[in-house]
Amino acid sequence: MLETVRGPRQLIVGEGVAQNIPRVVAESGSRVLVVTDRVLLRQPGVAEIVAAVREKAEAVEVFADATPDVPLTDVALAVSAAAEVDADVILAVGGGTVIDLAKIVGVIRRHGGTPRDFYGESKVPGPTMPLVAVPTTAGTGSELTPVSVLTDPDRELKVGVSSVHIVPDFAIVDPELTYTCPATVTAHSGIDAFCHAVESYTARPRAHGPRDPVEQVFLGRNSITDHYALRAAQRIAGSLRRAVSDGGDQDARADMSYGSMLAGIAFSHAGNAAPHALQYPIGAATHTPHGLGVGLLLPYALDAARDAVGDRLAILAGVCGLDVTDASEAEAAEAFLTWLDGLLADIGIPASLAEIGVARADLPRFAELAGGVTRLIQNHPGPTDTASLTAILEAAWAGERARPVPTPPSDSDRPSR
């Protein structure tokens, strides 16, 4: 047995907990950089948070120009904003882009250099600036994770900074902040969270030595990550359709926030796998949302690894509320994949890479690029040579897993807790 658990100093989850943000920030520092985006800053809930922080802090600078996928230009601008106020604490209010941006700003403020100095695993030499992370979507889990994903114009795919030192100090998860999240964003962030849960649960287990939990970030699945991943999958499976179709469904919103949080804990340790690695070059080439890409790719990657994780797919079928009591393992695994196809269709995820503008001729190059994302691809339970990854992309390009016609949500979609 060799396991570890990492996370914020304090995780606070529940309706109304956002009222604690000003106090938590003030206890962490007096000169605050707030990282958010323009759309969020116009929302009353976020504006109230910023105003309340201003009342308690000595100085506040708001950087509200965060843009999707964290381009390096945004990093430079946000670092300059932090310098203007001589920030000693960062408050990130937003989705994964905002929180990932805040993480790398904290690294550079404390250790200097540029983002490129920290690409890969465990390159951050020590603790960074205090960070209070407040998600406004239920999906990325970035408020809990040791990863910041960036877009580098000199590279053909996204890059990651992975270090235990960039886990936020405080994570405040208030479902009420997700109530205004648009349906499309709810769908894309929500299926991203489901991918986190499923990829963690099906990740390849790996043997480790005593130094590995310190020197490595992603470690493969274990009994701790299995626990969080299954609970996350259950919550999200029962609530994602409802949250997308009715953003005012507060129970669904709460379940999505809770499920996203659990999935974040799971993949912070087990790691993501082929869907995320393959999405990096595809997302960079097509400029499509991250959640859309990983959701589209998930069933094809699982289908390709069915021989290795069929038993786990069968368990996921039961966890997601399917009646597979009398089914064989193979039948239950197929039932899960068919259910997943239906979920993706119902929330508007395209069925094929061709639909999002991917050229078939580019698939081998994308597979080769994804194969180089070692921290992710080593977790895929199936073969990871370029030919095998290309085969996954070929299936996804053709949409070979038939998607059913979308069906309206019903209460039966919601498994018991």
Pick from 3-7, 125-129, 259-263: least confident? 3-7
pLDDT score for 55: 97
Percent of the chain with pLDDT over 90: 89
φ/ψ bin of 224: left (φ > 0), alpha (ψ from -120 to 50), beta (otherwise): alpha
Beta bridge partners of 161: 120, 148
Helix, strand or coil, per DSSP, at residue 68: coil
Return the percent helix, strand and coil in the chain, to nearest 5: 55, 10, 35
Angstrom distance (rounded) from CA 219 to CA 320 = 25
Task: Tell me the per-residue pLDDT of 332-386, one tens digit each, with 9 for 90 and over.
Answer: 999 999 999 999 999 999 999 999 999 999 999 999 999 999 999 999 999 999 9
Give the per-residue pLDDT at 240.
98
- Encoding tokens for residue 245? 């179709």
pLDDT at 401: 73
Short-list 85, 78, 19, CA closest to 58: 85
Least confident of 86-100, 244-258, 303-317, 393-407: 393-407
Give all strands (DSSP E) within 157-290, no chain letters: 159-162, 170-173
Which residues, 6 or more positions from 328, have their beta carbon under 8 angstroms from its beta carbon?
none
Regarding beta strands 159-162 and 147-150, do their DSSP bridges make them parallel or antiparallel, or are they unpaired? antiparallel
How far, rounded to the nearest angstrom, does the alpha carbon of residue 248 sit from its chain's CA centroid? 23
Q: What is the spatial distance between Cα 246 and Cα 293, in angstroms, rounded to a whole number?
A: 23
d(CA 192, CA 172): 20
284-306 average pLDDT score: 96
Judge whether residue 27 has pLDDT over 90.
yes
Which pLDDT does position 414 carry in this prediction?
40
User: Inter-axis angle of helices 44-56 and 21-28, to 10 degrees?
Assistant: 40
Distances in Å between the alpha carbon of 179 and those of 79, 135, 171, 175, 329?
30, 12, 18, 7, 39
Task: Give the DSSP H or E segment for 150.
Answer: strand 147-150
- Which residue bears the tokens 């990492």? 6
For range 29-53, the mean pLDDT: 97
Q: Which of 27-41, 247-261, 374-388, 400-414 bottoms out in mean pLDDT, i.e. has the lowest?
A: 400-414
The reported pLDDT for the residue numbered 353 is: 98
DSSP letters, 119-144, are -EES---S--S-EEEEESSSS--TTT
**Model confidence pLDDT, tens digit, residues 390-414:** 999 999 999 987 454 555 544 444 4
For residue 407, what pLDDT is reported? 52
Measuring CA to CA, which residue among 204, 202, 399, 201 is closest to residue 300? 399
Distance CA 342, CA 299 (A): 11
Handedness of CA 133, 134, 137, 138 (dihedral sign): positive
Distance, CA of 27 to CA of 141 (rounded, Å): 24
Residue range 277-305: mean pLDDT, rounded: 95
> For residue 400, what pLDDT is reported?
87
What's the mean pLDDT when you consider all of the chain? 94
Summarised one tens digit per residue, pLDDT across range 42-57 is: 999 999 999 999 999 9
| Cα 6 off chain centre by | 16
> Rounded to whole angstroms, how far apart are CA atoms 76 and 109?
11
Q: Flag whether the pTM goes above 0.85.
A: yes
DSSP state of 93: E
Three-class SS state of 55: helix
pLDDT category of residue 330 using cuts at 50, 70 and 90:
very high
pLDDT of residue 379: 96
Note whether 69 and 97 are within 8 A (CB): yes
Confidence of residue 285 (pLDDT cuts 50, 70, 90): very high
Cα 221 from Cα 98, distance rounded (Å): 28
pLDDT recorded at residue 305? 96
Q: What is the pLDDT of residues 158-174, one digit of tens each?
A: 889 999 999 999 999 99
Tokens representing residue 6 in the block: 């990492």
End-to-end, the C-alpha distance of the chain in Å comes to: 29
